[in-house]
Structure 1
């Protein structure tokens, strides 16, 4: 009889955890059993389960090597070799280790097997295996190498699998200026919220370029963005636009393409005529003037023009430099790019036929598996449509890179700072095209119960399973970090707790019935460090909420920047910690996309809106409002105590409004702090009241659609913005 709870231990499923109040919580045996099912173990069928476990165990030892070994500069450079005990008794046995380095070099070494240290042994289905520790004598360069071993004796020859050997720095990259103690500020923005005189109703990559340059002129050194991962261009559902529930984390949302910046437009008269027509200009005018982003209207307008360009200009013409640039992009993107483009084209095809193809799960059966020959045939039959979506990814990638390059050429220390979502939706392209079989389609990432969410949270994001990731030598994670560290000087890892553990529950079950599953923090941080250096990309870990102390220590040791939100940094007595007492290896902020704006918070607009939406009862809203009044007074007391407001500024919070003057004082207050990075939001520069996102809502509020209340060009010309940013820069330099 298999001990299910011991098996759960072996598979990294936690028995306990410390909750948000630091109380020890025991995870139920039933929840742990359910997690094993999500990870692919048939816990209710002993025979089937035993068969899987026997196969896994034998596979580990018959392969001789692990599928992957990650080594950092702080590690002993060694790996494990598993050999039958009988080989150790054969003095003729010779071990040959062959290393294939990333740069193409090969290193091989042969030694008697008996000279390789035995660290342990294990009886596996009647055969005893020695577990040997092989120490590398060569200093390998950082990178992705491979290793195989051959064991030759008089009686037998054994060959191993090819192991991925990943050698990593022990710390992530940090720009020299910041290492030398320079403190900088920047802007966190949601690109879709940006208004400008020329965009098509949503912020685009041309706006990003202007935003970067405008922020730098004001003294800022970065612009942080919500995830720009690929969305669902064919799906009309307005609730399917969350940047944190993407179709792919490896590609870009094509809605951000600036159509008028596409070089091929110059050679396409039909597209130019369409854009300049009175009817189309009126259409753009309506899209631009809307209070909320009309995602459907914007994507339809852009796709109409981009398809005209694609149909009238040979974008893959080998005789032109542009055509060759696109073909190189296609070659670099490989199978992954083709799968992304095929998924978008397939969804569009189904919608054109009147099918609500919101997910691959509703495709015809033969198209639900990316490896199906029917998918390959469909791709051949509709190759022009697939090529079109490849071209759109090419344009998006090119324009994002151009914005970053302009920022760096202008002298920005960081420039673009990208955001990496914690996962992808079940209906995503990444799950459909999961050639490494790492995603669990029956699980959902979320969070355990806490005071703010007593029932827990289930985000509908498909988890990657730890064992499958390891068997795939972390390929999906490596590709993801490579994709997201391009065209930026920093990356924010959303819900960084996932580097250590994720709360996973069965789809359709209450979130409180989930459990924590552990991942290899050592391996993931090693890969992040390697890619961080290769891309010169600073790493910011969103370490808010219930973060285990092991992860906190590991993030600090590896050099990742922490995340400090002013309203969360409270002392034991309820007062607000002075920003000068924050840790330096961190980014601080007043507000985020999941919080009310400064005006909204100070005026309790989030509470009144929460009451309207059913998030709070009347009693809860009143109670929270009373607490808010105390918090506001403590903030004002701290501001006076630290000299962040003048002596003649009111001392009674009830007499203070969140004016532009007071908002400016708060920004300067934070800029005087010790964090190396400070992030401000443009919403708080111009007094925006409405939030962009209200956690816990879906269709009740237009999340991810609210725009800024002023054009970008106008904002940077405001006198109070110029004076505020000048003082922010001075405060950071002092």
Structure 2
């Protein structure tokens, strides 16, 4: 009989964890059993489970090599070879190892098998296998290499599977100036919130270019963005707009395309006539003036014009440099790009037919599998529609890159920094087009119970299974990191705890019934380091909340930047830690997209709003308000003690308002800190009081839709913004 709990141990499912209060929590046996099921093990069918385990075991030992080996500078440069013991008993057995390097070079070595050290042995289903330690004779260049092993004796031969041999640096990339001690500031922005005189009701990539240049002119060195991941352009549901629940993490949300910046528009009179028509201009005027982003109105307006351009201009014309540029983009995007475009086109097709195709799960059965011949035929029959969505990805990638290059050419040290969401939704293109079979649609990523969420959290994001990732040689993760480190100088990894472990629950079950499953932190950090250097991309790990000490140490060792939020950095006595005492290898911030703005926090608007939305009871709101008053006083005490505010400001927090001058004092207070990076929010420059997102809500609040209260062009002309940013720059330089 199979011991389910021992099997769970073997598959990396934790038995215990330390919670947010540092208390040891035991995960129930039933939760661990449920997680095995999510990972693909039929725990309620003993015979089927045994058959699957036997197959996995046999596959591992008969494949000779592992599917993937990740080596860093600090590792012994070696890997393991598994051969039946009978080969080792044959003195004539020869081992041939062939390496095909990423640059095309080949290295081959022949050696008697008996000269390869035996590290261990195992009896697998009646056959004894030697596990031999093969040491590489020379250092290999960083990169993705292919390794094959061939063993030949007098009586038989044995050939391995191809192993991906990934050689990585031991540290991520950090700009030279930062390594030498320079301290800089920048802006974190939700791009969709940006108002401007010319955008179409949502911040776009032209706005991003102006934002980058405006911040740089003020002395800032980066602009951090919300995730730019692909959304669902055909889905009309306003609740499907969260940047943290995307359709694909390897492609871009086409809603951010600046239509007036599209080069093909210049030669397309029908599109120009449509845009300049009185009716369309009125439509844009309404979209710009709305308090909240009208995602459906914006995407429909943009797609209408972009389709007119596409239908009237041959975008894939081989005779033009522009057409060839698009064709190169298509070639580089490969199968993944085609699948992304097919999914968008299929969803649009269904909606036009009156079907609520919010997910691939409601497609007709023959279209639910990306590898289906029916999908391939549909793609051929609707080639122009698929090509249109490829073209949209081309424009989005081009404009994002143009904004980044413009900032870098102007002299900005980091430029754009992108945000990588922790996962994708079950209804996403990434799950539908999962050719590597790494996703588990029956599971949901989340968080265990803690004081802020006593019932735990389930985010509806499909987890990748650790074993399947290794079997796929981490290809999906590599593609994702490569895509998200383009056109930026830094990347923020949301919920970086997922590099070590993820809390996973069965979809539809209470989040408290989940369990932690472990991933190969060594391998993932190695791949991140490799791509970080290749793209000259600094890495910021969002390590807030309950982070295992093993991960904290590993992130610091690899050179990833920690994330420090001022309101969370408190000493044991309740006082606020001086920013000068923060670690230098970090980015600090006052507020984030999941928090109230400075005005909202200081005035407790988040508590009153939370009470209205049913997040807090009357009693809870009163208790939290008392804690807030104490926190405000401790902040004021700290600022006065460190000389961050003048004596003109009262020492009694009840008498202090969140004025522009006090908000500026807080920004300067942080800029004097020791963190290499400080991130500020434009909301706090201009006194926005409403949050952009309220965790724990869905339809109760218009999350991810609130706009800024001033146009981008106006903000950088505000005198107090000019004064504040100059003092911030001076404080950082000192």
Whether TM-score is above 0.5 comes out as yes
Partner SS, residue 239 of structure 1: helix
Q: Secondary structure at the match of 1:187?
A: strand
Q: 1:322 aligned to 2:287?
A: no
Q: 1:382-441 CA deviation, whole Å, 9 max, x = no partner?
A: 000000000000000000000000000000000000000000000000000000000001
The aligned residue for residue 44 of structure 2 is: 44
Cross-structure match for 2:543: 543
Q: What does residue 500 of structure 1 align with?
A: 500
Q: Distance in 1 between matches of 2:215 and 2:695?
A: 28
| Cα distance between partner residues in 2 of 1:14 and 1:183 | 40
- Work out the CA distance in 2 between the residues paired with 1:193 and 1:41: 44
Q: Are 1:175 and 2:175 matched, yes or no?
A: yes
1-structure distance, mates of 2:377, 2:181:
57
Match of 1:118 in 2: 118
Provide the residue aligned with 2:197 in structure 1.
197
2:124 corresponds to 1:145? no
Deviations 1:451-490 (A, max 9, x none): 0000000000000000000000000000000000000000
Deviation for aligned residue 1:155? 1.1
Distance (Å, rounded) in 1 between the aligned partners of 2:375 and 2:471:
26
Match of 2:160 in 1: 160
Map 1:673-692; keep pairs closer than 5 Å.
673-692=673-692
Distance 1:480 1:511 in 2: 27
TM-superposition CA deviations, 1:494-552 (whole Å, max 9, x none)? 00000000000000100000000000000000000000000000000000001000000
Match in the other structure for 1:343:
343
In 1: Cα distance, 2:619 partner to 2:441 partner = 40
1:594 maps to what in 2? Answer: 594
In structure 1, distance between residues paired with 2:453 and 2:139: 50
Residue number in structure 1 paired with 2:89? 89
The 5-angstrom pairing of residues 340-489 of structure 1 reads: 340-489=340-489
Quote the Cα distance in structure 2 between the aligned partners of 1:521 and 1:670.
32
Q: CA deviation at 1:196?
A: 0.2
Q: Counterparts of 1:259 and 1:362 in 2: how far apart (Å)? A: 32
- Matched with 2:513 is 513
The CA deviation string for residues 170-194 of structure 1, in whole angstroms up to 9 with x for no partner, is 0000000000000000000000000
Unaligned stretches of 5+ in structure 2?
none
- Which residue of structure 2 lines up, in the alignment, with residue 296 of structure 1? 296
1:270-281 aligned at under 5 Å gives the runs 270-281=270-281
Q: Distance in 1 between matches of 2:618 and 2:609?
A: 11
Asked if residue 252 in structure 1 is aligned to residue 262 in structure 2, the reply is no
Mapping for residues 72-87 of structure 1, pairs under 5 Å: 72-87=72-87
What do the CA deviations read for 1:631-655 (whole angstroms, capped 9, x no partner)?
0000000000000001221000000
Residue in 2 that maps onto 1:552: 552
Match of 1:418, SS? Answer: strand
Instruction: Say which SS state the counterpart of residue 224 (structure 1) adopts.
Output: strand
Offset at 1:686? Answer: 0.2
- Tell me the distance in 2 between the aligned counterparts of 1:131 and 1:650: 72
Match of 1:6 in 2: 6
- Secondary structure, counterpart of 2:688 in structure 1: coil
In 2, Cα distance between the equivalents of 1:106 and 1:664? 60
Structure 1 SS opposite 2:245:
coil
Note the 1:215-226 alignment, pairs <5 A. Answer: 215-226=215-226
TM-score, normalised by the number of residues in structure 2:
1.00
| C-alpha deviation, 1:238, in angstroms | 0.3
Cα distance in structure 2, aligned partners of 1:313 and 1:162? 44
The residue correspondences of 1:618-633 to structure 2 (distance < 5 A) are 618-633=618-633
Determine the C-alpha separation between the residues in 1 that align with 2:255 and 2:158.
Answer: 53
For residue 703 of structure 1, report the CA deviation from its aligned partner. 0.0
Structure 2 CA distance, aligned partners of 1:329 and 1:149?
35
Report how far residue 575 of structure 1 moved.
0.3
Aligned equivalent of 2:282: 282
In structure 1, what is the Cα distance between the partners aligned to 2:445 and 2:721? Answer: 40
Could you say what secondary structure the match of 1:2 adopts? coil
CA distance in 2, matches of 1:111, 1:373: 46
Deviations 1:551-583 (A, max 9, x none): 000000000000000000000000000000000
Give the secondary-structure state (helix, strand or coil) at the position aligned to 2:239. Answer: coil
CA deviation profile, 1:229-251 (whole Å, cap 9, x unmatched): 00000000000000000000000
C-alpha distance in 1 between matches for 2:441 and 2:221: 41
State the match for 1:636 in structure 2: 636
Q: Distance in 2 between matches of 1:283 and 1:152?
A: 73
CA distance in 2, matches of 1:191, 1:322: 28
- Per-residue Cα deviation, 1:593-644 (whole angstroms, up to 9, x for no partner): 0000000000000000000000000000000001100000000000000000
Are 1:693 and 2:693 counterparts?
Answer: yes
Q: For 2:436 and 2:314, locate their aligned partners in 1 and report how far apart those are by CA, in whole Å.
A: 34
What's the counterpart of residue 564 of structure 1? 564
1:611 lines up with 2:611 in the alignment: yes
How many angstroms apart in 2 are the aligned matches of 1:450 and 1:124? 43
Name the structure 2 match of 1:186: 186
CA deviations over 1:3-48 (Å, ceiling 9, x no partner): 0000000000000000000000000000000000000000010000
C-alpha distance in 2 between matches for 1:221 and 1:276: 37
CA distance in 2, matches of 1:459, 1:317: 43
Shift of 1:309: 0.2
Per-residue CA deviations over 1:181-231 (Å, capped at 9, x if unaligned) read 000000000000000000000000000000000000000000000001000
SS in structure 1 opposite 2:240?
coil
Structure 2: distance between partners of 1:254 and 1:475: 24
- Paired with 1:305 and 1:138, the residues of 2 have a C-alpha distance of 57
Matched residue of 1:122: which SS? Answer: strand
Give the total of aligned pairs. 734
Distance in 1 (alpha carbons) for counterparts of 2:441 and 2:572: 43
